[in-house]
Structure formats: structure tokens, C-alpha cells
Chains A and B, each alone.
Chain A
Amino acid sequence: MELNALDQEFMHSGHVGCPGCGAAIAMRFFLKALGDKTIMVLPACCWSVIAGPYPQSTLKIPLIHSAFETGGAVASGVRAALDMKGDRETTVVTWAGDGGTFDIGFQALSGAVERNEDFIYVCYDNEAYMNTGIQRSSSTPYGAWTTTTPGTDWKKLRKKNIVEALVAHRIPYAATANIAFPEDLVRKAQKAKSIKGSRFIHVYASCPTGWRIPSEMSIKIARMAVQTNIFPLYEVEDGLRYTINYKPKEYLVREYFRLQGRFRHLTDKDLDQIQEMVNEDWELLLRKAGEHA
């Protein structure tokens, strides 16, 4: 029986994540969109813990935990087995953090999407290795404090643009999504589900613990990330056709940064520089989408 009505819950009430955890919110919405004919591959990340310890599970779908760097490969194997069993109905989803996607799992992900494996890869992005205690990843943004970029050694390198890296593989579908825009997120998950081949969704998932923000600010900050163009909502079909889903009113990045403990050390001058970087990235995206003035 296909259960895809959005009032269905595929997460039990009660999980082991922190209050206000964006990753938990993201999962809840995704599963609503994907339904119960879903098998999930879960490489090491905060979600390895959020899902709960044996003999309990937060999720109502079959779930295979896997080694940190294997999200792309384990899903390829699950898909191959389902194909051999004649099951074309079940959707295979890898659910990985930014570390498991941008860094250690990038090779297996690139390999899987080059083969155009028929699965959805979701990267929930909390911009650091949170499971192990807030260490920097290549997704950690310019300016951020983490436990491995402490004090004056705050990260002075740009965040890797993972969507563009996936787009360069010319996969059928790549998109960004955000927990503060659930309708957009659900639509993209359902769209991804309807497409064959490799699909990639990059979800902004705030992390109160790692970002040094109050838990009730989780959604607000996520929304501001879109409104400031720090995390634009867009989708790319076949590596070519860009659609920007949300045109913000060009809020300044300053407020977004000032609300988060991880950016506390930044000066006005640093923020001006970051504003320029964000403007530059947005211009580039507009050009790719053919919307540049």
C-alpha cells in the first residue's frame, strides 16, 4: 500500500537528537514525501545516533546503517539487489551528513552518480562534523568557528559548492532544499522520487548545538539563510536547466551572522567581505539560470 499522504508520519515521536535539530525536521518532511516504499542507507553522521540505539528505531522504514564513506556504494548495492529481485517500486535513499557527502564519502558518491545509479542521495547539511563534536568540514562556511578551527584560526576558506559538483556529473536531478520551506522541500522530494537515475538533494539543516544558537531559532535561521542568498533554493535538471525557486528581497547577511555564536568573532569588515562573496555567488547562479540582468 502506497502511503504518501502528508499527514502520515514515518518517524516515531521521540528521537535522540538535540531539541531544535534541523536534521530531524528534514527527515520527517522527507519521509512524508517519499512514503513507506523506501529503503534508507545511513552512513555515519548525527543521524546514526538520532535514529536510536538497538533495539529501538525512530524510523518506520527499513534502514541500513553503513560506514561513513559508503553512502553512494551501499545504495548502489541495495538498488542492484532490488533490481535482481524485480522490485522497481521501492525508492532507495541515502541520507548523509555534509562530512559524509562533501568529504569522506565524495568518491563513492561521485562513482555512484557517474554510473547514474537509480537512487536519491540526500545530504542534510549542518556545516560541520557534528556527531564527533563540531569539527570543520569542507561544507563549513567562511568565517565559522568549529572545534578544529578555534580562536583566530576560524575557517578562512569558502564552503565547497556541492550542488555544482553534482551538476557537473550531469545527473538527472539536483536541488537544494531547506527545513524552513517545507512545501518546497516536499515538492522536490516527490519530484526526485518520480525521476529515474541519480538524484541529489542538498538540504540546509540547522544545528543549534554546533552553531551556538538557541534551539527555538533553528527554523528562523534556516529561513534567513535563503532570504540572504546564503543558501539559495534552486534545482537543476540534467545538469543543464536551472530553476531558481525563491527570489529573496536581498536581506543583508549581517543579521544571519550576528545571531549565531559560531560567527561571534567576525568583525564588520569580515562581514562586508562575506557579503561580497555571497553577492558574487548569487550573481553566478543567476547567470547559470539565464536570469542575469
Chain B
Amino acid sequence: MKRVLEGSHAVAEAVRLAKVQVISAYPITPQTHIVEILSDYCSTGKLKAKFLRVESEHSALAALIGAQSSGVRTFTATSSQGLALMHELLHWSSGARLPIVMAEVNRALGPGWNIWMDQTDSLAQRDTGWIQFYCEDSQEVLDTTLQAYRLAEEVNLPVMVVLDAFFLSHTYEPVDIPDEKDVDRFLPPFAPKFQLDTANPCSFGQLVTPAFYMEMRHDIDRAMDLALVRFGEIEEEYARIFKRRYGAVEAIQCSDADIILLTSGTVTSTCRLVLKALRDRGEKVGILKVKLFRPTPAEQIRGALKSAKKVAVVDRNCSFGAGGIFAQEVRAALCNLPGHPLVYGYIAGIGGRDVTPELLEEIYWKTKNSEVPEKESVWMGLQEVAHGTQRS
């Protein structure tokens, strides 16, 4: 059944269909619509879940750590400062091997206060052991959230489904809502191997000496490798039932492209238009959309980029002093590939600034016309600012 839904509501529909049992969240713009509608679902009985209205994001995730360890399916949603506050427990959730699923609405971090689109919040959590998906539209958000539960529960790792602030969280689009029976077929009830149980008392998360800790961490890394494989299989199965597939990466006209624009999130949609316009003018350009950020689909990235001459990475984020984060990852994935393409990093659309078709074209031409990259990442679309004095 198709309905016109806000991106936030696409998340909520997936949570309802996944029959989540415990939700715990704390409000932050632009995540609020997700928790508002879920509160409504819980109070009207549309979703039979317990909603914990905790006093902080830190407690939201802590509560889910308790709930998930007790053997139920859980959900939270946050953004920006909220995610930063959760940081300690992000590590804890993956270390405890808990398949918690979170919707993360990409928003800028303060100061200054800025509630708009920026990827730095979630990318800064890249080493926390969470699987991360970056979505392009509301349909993908819904589908990915359902897949996230399957994947999380198969590999025992938490998953973050990331959606762009406002461009996706607050935009209405037609979304096909899967049939509940089909979802039940795809996503069976959560059946953990271990849980807190008085009939089988176990100790969770206790003191671990150097004699064991390293193996436990190695297991997490192996689970990430497994997630890469399992995600492909889960997508196959999802496609068989629901006729939709996205891929860990999507290569669009990459096979004959000299220059490939690498994107993530909603910018990809804008880029699809630019691609068409450039192709119409005879430019050999392609797009590589990276949806799965952790685990890194390095093999697939190399496969898509290997025959190109140049890659232009569009980063809506910045690791200060090291440039765009997707660009760093792509460089790392390519560096051992003989004759690999040059990587041009671009930082654009920070803190909610538009990434327009014109800007993407400018990125394309700049890449084409520079023999080698100017620096790690070039900031695009900056206004002229006279430093130290007032702007004229």
C-alpha cells in the first residue's frame, strides 16, 4: 500500500512493522517527529511496545542495553548532540553484542546551534562498532530499517539507520508500506542465544582480563566482516519478497566513466540529475552512492571505481585537520589497488547549506580540470569572509 509519508514517519512505520517491544528516546530536533509518532502508536496500541520517556539520550541507550539484554527487540532515535551524549554507550552496545537499531537524523553539532543537515555527528561515531547505513529517500529508510533488524540480530551488532535532517526527515514522499504478513515472514521474532534469565543465571559484561579481552574484540571485528556478507543475502531475500534492492553501494554508469562522483544520502538524488545533464553533453561521468559505511564495503568500492581516472568525493562532514571522512575511507580502500584513480575530496553542504546541481557540476569541472588534487579536501560554496573584521 502506497502512502505519502514524511521520512520520519517511514522510520516509525518500519518500527511498527518490526514489532519492536521497547522504545526509549529523548527528543531533539530534527528527530522529534519519529518519537512523537511512535509515542502515539504506543499509546493507541497500534504498536504493542513499552515507551520509556527517559531523562536523557544517555539513559535512552542505557535503558535499551538493559532491555535488549533481557531478550526483547528495541529501538531509539536521536541526532547530533544526543548521539554525542550516547558515545560511551555506543561502544557499550556493540561490545555487549546487542542488536539495537537506531534512527540517526544527521544534524550539525554546536556551537553555534545549528539544527540542519550535517553528517559529522554520525561519522564521528565510526569506531564504535555500529553498522551504519546512509539512506537516500523515505522508501529506502523504511526498507533499510526492516533489514537493519534482520542484520543486527544475525550478527549481534547494533545498527544505525542514518537519514539527512529535513531533506529526508521532514520531506513527504510516496512510500510503499509492506504488508505485515510479508514482514513477519522476512523478520521472525527476536530469539537471542543469551538473555538475562533467572532460570539460567549468567553474568553479562563483567571484568575481562587481557587473557580474554582481545579475542572478544576480534569477534566483533569478525562480526563486521560477516555483516558485509549477510547484508547482501538479506537484501536478496528482501528483494524476492518486496521487489526492492539498494546494495551496499550503488554504481550508476560507472563502467565507462572517467570521473565518478561519490555521494551518500540525499545528495545522491541531486547528483542523479547532474549526471544526466552532463552525460547529455557527452561527459563520461558516473556516480557511486555509498549506503553502507560500516562495515566498509571496500571490495565493492574498488570494483566500482577501478577503471575510472578520478573520483570526486562529496563530503557533508569534516574531520578537522584531515578533511572529508568519506574521502579518507575511499583513499584507504583504493590505496593498494595498482593504478587506482586519483581521489579529489570536496566538503559541501555543511550545517544545512544546500548542495545544488550547480555546485555538483562545479565539483565535476574542478575535478576534470585539475591534474592532481589541490589538497585532501577542498571546501566548496564558501562565502567570502574577511577574517578578523565584520563581513562587508
Contacts and interface: CB of A to CB of B under 8 A. Distances in A.
Interface of A: 36-39, 41, 48-49, 51-55, 57, 59-67, 69-70, 72-85, 90, 107-108, 110-112, 114-115
Nearest to B21: A84
A112 B200 CA distance: 27
A219 B198 CA distance: 31
Contact of B53 (A52, A64, A69, A115): A115
B81 interface: no
Given A63-B204, A108-B58, A37 B196 contact: no
A53 B208 CA distance: 6
Given A62-B196, A65-B206, A76-B52, A81 B59 contact: no
B55 A54 contact: no
A203 B116 CA distance: 48
Given A76-B63, A80-B63, A114 B201 contact: no
Contacts of A53: 206-209
Contacts of A110: 55
Interface string B48-63: 0110111110111011
B204 A64 contact: yes
B384 interface: no
Given A61-B198, A63-B201, A65-B204, A73 B69 contact: no
A38 B66 contact: no
A51 B203 contact: yes
B203 A59 contact: yes
B198 A90 contact: yes
A53 B213 CA distance: 11
Contacts of B58: 69-70, 73, 108
Given A49-B207, A59-B203, A78-B196, 4 more contacts: A62-B204, A74-B62, A77-B22, A108-B55
A73 B88 contact: no
A63 B198 CA distance: 10
Contacts of B60: 73
Contact of A48 (B53, B64, B207): B207
Contact of B22 (A59, A61, A80, A111): A80
A64 B205 contact: yes
B55 A84 contact: no
A81 B24 CA distance: 11
13 contacts: A37-B198, A48-B206, A51-B203, A53-B208, A62-B200, A62-B202, A65-B206, A67-B62, A76-B59, A77-B70, A78-B69, A84-B50, A111-B55
B62 A108 contact: yes
Contacts of B63: 73-74, 76-77, 80
Interface string B282-309: 0000000000000000000000000000
Contacts of A72: 59
Nearest to A72: B59
Contacts of A80: 22, 24, 50, 52, 63, 66-67, 72
B101 to A, nearest CB: 15
A66 B205 CA distance: 7
Interface string B193-236: 00011101111111111001000000000000000000000000
Nearest to B202: A62
Given A37-B198, A64-B205, A70-B89, A85 B71 contact: yes
B347 to A, nearest CB: 34
Contacts of A61: 198, 201
A53 B89 CA distance: 21
A73 B54 contact: yes
A169 to B, nearest CB: 12
A107 B55 CA distance: 8
A192 B56 CA distance: 27
B97 to A, nearest CB: 13
Contact of A60 (B53, B68, B197, B201): B201
Contact of A83 (B50, B64, B196, B206): B50
Contacts of B212: 54-55
B186 interface: no
Contacts of A115: 52-54
Contacts of A83: 50
A82 B70 CA distance: 7
B59 A62 contact: no
Nearest to B204: A64
A72 B58 CA distance: 11
Given A63-B201, A72-B59, A108-B59, A78 B89 contact: no
B66 A81 contact: yes
Interface string B157-181: 0000000000000000000000000
Contacts of A82: 70
B22 A84 contact: yes
B242 interface: no
Contacts of A63: 201-204, 206
Contacts of B41: none
A119 to B, nearest CB: 10
Contacts of B24: 76-77, 80
A131 B332 CA distance: 41
A76 B25 CA distance: 13
B65 A74 contact: yes
B89 A67 contact: yes
Contact of A62 (B22, B55, B201, B209): B201
A62 B72 contact: no
Nearest to B64: A77
B207 A66 contact: no
Given A52-B206, A62-B196, A77-B24, A84 B66 contact: no
Contacts of A111: 54-56, 59
